[in-house]
Structure 1
Amino acid sequence: MHYWLMKSEPEEMSIDAALAEPKHTVPWFGVRNYQARNFMRDAMQVGDGVLFYHSSCPEPGVAGFARVASIAYPDASQFDPDSKYFDPKSAPEQPRWMLVDVQALKKTRLISLAELRAQPELANMVILKRGNRLSITPVSAAEWRCLQHMSK
């Protein structure tokens, strides 16, 4: 089993909005970074743990726990000319961008970026590294356990 941190802007998809969806499941669309796409396409497996992270908001941080609910499949927004995620270089026969479905499991108290930085056990967490801008990053099993403990 692998663990991931997946960023979402709350106005695009919040933990509350995901929990309100049928089966609490949402497609994680709009990823337009090759490394993040490769994580979804090549490494994520159904059942992997997900830290649902709110980003680009007044107080970013871990807002809940989720799981990967599907294998990767083509992100339809890349083909929609009306979508802000449209990619004119992508074709249905050879899609460039993939997504996975994510099932929200529970909302937690917000664990802020400052609180993450204050935990010595999380010092090597990818999201805390200088210059990291990826929307999807791997999380170690020890980091996952620490965050589960912190969320209580």
Structure 2
Amino acid sequence: MRYWLMKSEPDEASIDDLAHAPHRTLPWTGVRNYQARNFMRDTMRVGDGVLFYHSSCPEPGIAGLAHVSSTAYPDPTQFDSKSPYYDAKSTHENPRWMLVDVVFEKKCALIPLAALREHEALADMRVLAKGNRLSITPVTEAEWTFITNHLM
């Protein structure tokens, strides 16, 4: 099993949206970064743990837990000319962007970015790295265990 931190803007898809979605499942649409896409396409597996992170909001931080519930498949928003995630260079025969589905597990009190920075055990977490803007980053088993056992 692997672990991931997946960022979402709460006005687009929040932990509450995930909790209330049909089957408590959402497709992780709109990723337009090749490294994040490659994580979903090449590395993520069904059952992998997800730290659901609210970003681009007044107080960013971990808002809950989820898990990956599908293998990667083409993101339909790349084909929709009305979508902000439309990609004219992508075709059904050769899709550029992939997604996975995630399933809600648990909502928690928000664990702000500042609180994550306070713990030496999390010092190497990629979300804390200066200049990190990736929407999906791997989380080590030690980081996952520390967060789920000590901060939630």
TM-score, reference length from structure 1: 0.99
One-letter amino acid matched to 2:19: L
Residues of 1 paired with 2:54 and 2:91: CA distance? 31
Report the counterpart of residue 116 of structure 1 in structure 2.
Answer: 116
Q: CA deviation at 1:101?
A: 0.2
Percent identical: 64
Report the counterpart of residue 44 of structure 1 in structure 2.
Answer: 44
One-letter amino acid matched to 1:69: S
Structure 1 moving runs of 4+ over 4 Å: none
RMSD of aligned alpha carbons: 0.6
One-letter amino acid matched to 2:75: D
Cα deviation digits, residues 40-86 of structure 1 (max 9, x gap)? 00000000000000000000000000000000000000000000000
Q: CA deviation at 1:147?
A: 0.7
Report the counterpart of residue 7 of structure 1 in structure 2.
Answer: 7
Within a 5 Å distance, the mapping from 1:98-113 to structure 2 comes to 98-113=98-113
Within a 5 Å distance, the mapping from 1:72-91 to structure 2 comes to 72-91=72-91
Q: CA deviation at 1:151?
A: 3.5
Residues of 2 paired with 1:136 and 1:29: CA distance? 12
Residues of 2 paired with 1:145 and 1:6: CA distance? 17
Within a 5 Å distance, the mapping from 1:22-41 to structure 2 comes to 22-41=22-41
1:18 maps to 2:18: yes
Q: Is the CA contact 1:109–1:151 (under 8 Å) kept in the aligned structure 2?
A: no
Q: Is the CA contact 1:67–1:102 (under 8 Å) kept in the aligned structure 2?
A: yes
Report the counterpart of residue 133 of structure 2 in structure 1.
Answer: 133
SS of equivalent residue, structure 2 residue 31? coil
Q: CA deviation at 1:150?
A: 3.1
Moved more, 142-151 or 112-121: 142-151
One-letter amino acid matched to 2:130: R
Q: Is the CA contact 1:8–1:54 (under 8 Å) kept in the aligned structure 2?
A: yes
Aligned residue-pair number: 152
TM-score, reference length from structure 2: 0.99
Residues of 1 paired with 2:79 and 2:151: CA distance? 38
Report the counterpart of residue 57 of structure 2 in structure 1.
Answer: 57
Which runs of 5 or more structure 2 residues have no equivalent in the other structure?
Answer: none
